[in-house]
Chains A and B, each alone.
Chain A
Amino acid sequence: MNNIPLEYYIALSGILFTIGTLGVILRRNAIIVFMSLEIMLNSVNLAFISFARYLGDTSGEIFVFFVMAVAAAESAIGLAIILALFRKKQTIYVDEVNVLKH
């Protein structure tokens, strides 16, 4: 594993993070938005793991567990909210949810 330099991992995580962020901003389907959020958090995990591995320090790996737990809780709540909204409005497209725009 050590044959692959750290920069590769960080570059990959940066690419994933960009994809995730753009997905959240550009996609209109709420489910895909939440998938993009997961991609963002996974890029964070990748960055933490690779830093921890190369620096020989475990606290980064510990952080990853917390990020995973929070990501799970976040998507659970997010899906519940999407469900509540779907019952009212029969749509999961974010741009059709616009009572509050002035």
Chain B
Amino acid sequence: MTITQSYLNNLMASVGYFAPEIAIVVTFIVAILFDLMFKKSKNIAAYISIIGLIITGFILSGNIGISKSLFDGLIVVDPYSTFFKFLFLITTILIMVMSLSYKELYDNNRKVGEYYSMLVGITFGMFLLASAVNLITIYLSIEILSLSSYVLAGYTKEIRRASEASLKYVIYGSLSSGIMVYGMSLLYGATMTLDVAKINVAILSGHVELFPIIIGGLMILVGFGYKMSAVPFHYWTPDVYEGAPITITSYLSVASKAAGFAVFIRFFKDLYLLPATSDINIWNTISNFHWQTIVAVLSVLTMTVGNFVALWQENVKRLLAYSSIAHAGYILMAVVVMTNVGITSILLYFVFYMIMNLGAFFVAQLFANKIGSDDLKDYIGLGYRSPVLAVLMTVFLISLTGLPPTAGFIGKFYIFTAVLDKGFVWLAVIGVLNSVVSLFYYAKIFRNMFLRSVADDTKNNFKFSAPAFPLSIAYVLAFATILFGLYFSPILNWAENSVTMFK
């Protein structure tokens, strides 16, 4: 009886901290119901989802600074997860607002209610993923996140490349999550528990077989690497990013990737961290097995492959897809060091990366609305046809390259500082060289927009701009990109306060 009682008490105490997730689920249900009830107003699900997520943000602000383990250790609420949750919320709201002006999505009189409610569903999965500390919750939340993404990637199903992207996504995704869950079964078999913290204790006690733990850890890395689109688990990325609706592409490149990193960092920190020591070098917990080298190799591969393959791309969406792979590589560099400074720089980078990447994709979307194409050759002359949008695009591209005075520079600067701090000079050198390479393909977009002569046919020579509302969002993002390049200490402080879990 007392066990039931204590369990109930635990449950009741936990529900309060779980309120943001509950709010998201309520939003999800209400959005679907209203969409069914009010068939005439097309965007009602969108408005309800946006309002619901804003309310969730207010509820979530009640969790700031709280560090607590919920539901018998299934999930935790801590500043680290709260930081990521705010990031997910802002991204989702921005994407929803951007989708409102996306022509391809509204073509053919398509119903869009499910589109917005599915985005809410993804947000729920990412919220859980950021705070998951049990193998069951990690697996489940990755699947919640993936299943909705599969559908959204193929949402414009009349367009063949969207269905194709969706099929490739679902096959690669299921394969990697299958491999991941097999790795989980090995970890479970070796340590007899699903709780990551208890697995850590079991490993540290030294009475377990290390072989299944290493193999299991590698298999789980496949699942996370797929979410982060790290090379060599990136095969799906270019195809899915090119085929999916561009709003979903930008969403996957920011939010889904951030969720992958959130769980990756927390999982390996929890699994291998020695809790007693304050001076940590967590990768060496398992003797004779060099996790750090593996992650460093992943990082180098990811940024090099991403940057070099991007050089040959002729489609802007595909080019930005490879650029986002390269950015995952830069971020992985800071995971290698796994210090407080490193994780702070990752959080900082994700905020800036969100702004500049969403901005770049958004301008590409506004271009696509008018010229109906994402091909690089169709960008020729856009600097004259639509000077405002082209200048905004340039701002985002400068930031993605990592040049001052933009946010991207600050983000990269902190990552390189963290890497050099730990003495990984060779890694930092490779990172800088990669940034130089990335300048070439970002400049390619710039060159096509401004420096190449406009074709003569009058049909494709009309001048255009975007409607006021989408344009103002692009302005805000560009302004934020430059502002955070000059004044970023609030975000830095927030990020620093969010990594207190690394003592």
Contacts and interface: CB of A to CB of B under 8 A. Distances in A.
**Interface of A, helix, strand, loop or mixed by DSSP:** helix
B189 interface: yes
Interface in A86-102: 88-89, 94, 97-102
A97 B170 CA distance: 14
Contact of A70 (B143, B158, B171): B143
Contacts of A19: none
Contacts of A55: 189, 192
Interface string B299-328: 000000000000001100010000000000
B243 A100 contact: yes
A70 B167 contact: no
A85 B163 contact: yes
Contact of B154 (A20, A60, A81): A81
A81 B188 contact: no
Contacts of A89: 160, 163
Nearest to B186: A47
Interface centre among B151, B161, B167, B194 (most CB of A within 10 A): B167
A29 B377 CA distance: 35
Contacts of B181: 41, 44, 67
A41 B178 contact: yes
B274 interface: no
**Interface of B, helix, strand, loop or mixed by DSSP:** helix
B185 A81 contact: no
Contacts of A63: 135-136, 139, 184-185, 188, 194
B170 A59 contact: no
A100 B147 CA distance: 22
Contact of A74 (B147, B160, B166): B147
A37 B185 contact: no
Interface in A21-63: 21, 24-25, 30, 33-34, 37, 40-41, 43-44, 47-48, 51, 55, 57, 59-60, 62-63
Interface in B190-217: 192-194
A70 B185 contact: no
Interface in B137-163: 139-140, 143, 147, 150-151, 154, 157-158, 160-161, 163
B175 interface: yes
Contacts of B194: 59-60, 63
A40 B183 CA distance: 12
B136 A44 contact: no
A48 B154 contact: no
Contacts of B158: 88
A15 interface: no
Nearest to B173: A74
B189 A47 contact: yes
A74 B174 contact: yes
Contacts of A101: 239
Contact of A84 (B154, B171, B186): B154
Contacts of B164: 85, 97-100
B175 A88 contact: no
Interface centre among A66, A77, A97 (most CB of B within 10 A): A77
A81 B189 contact: no
Contacts of B314: 102
B179 interface: yes
A84 B163 contact: yes
Given A77-B147, A100-B242, A47 B185 contact: yes
Contact of A37 (B139, B151, B168, B178): B178
Contact of B185 (A48, A85, A99, A102): A48
B143 A51 contact: no
A73 interface: yes
Nearest to A88: B160
Contacts of B188: 48, 51, 59-60, 63
A88 B163 contact: yes
Given A25-B175, A63-B136, 12 more contacts: A24-B174, A37-B171, A37-B174, A44-B184, A47-B185, A62-B136, A63-B184, A63-B185, A63-B188, A70-B143, A80-B151, A85-B160
Q: Which 9 A-B pairs have the closest CB atoms?
A: A40-B178, A51-B189, A47-B185, A85-B163, A100-B239, A84-B157, A70-B143, A37-B174, A55-B192
30 contacts: A10-B189, A20-B178, A21-B175, A24-B178, A25-B175, A30-B171, A37-B171, A37-B175, A44-B181, A44-B182, A44-B185, A51-B185, A55-B189, A59-B136, A59-B194, A66-B139, A67-B139, A74-B170, A78-B174, A80-B151, A84-B166, A85-B163, A88-B163, A89-B160, A89-B163, A98-B164, A99-B164, A99-B243, A100-B239, A102-B313
Interface of B: 135-136, 139-140, 143, 147, 150-151, 154, 157-158, 160-161, 163-168, 170-171, 174-175, 178-179, 181-182, 184-186, 188-189, 192-194, 238-239, 242-243, 313-314, 318
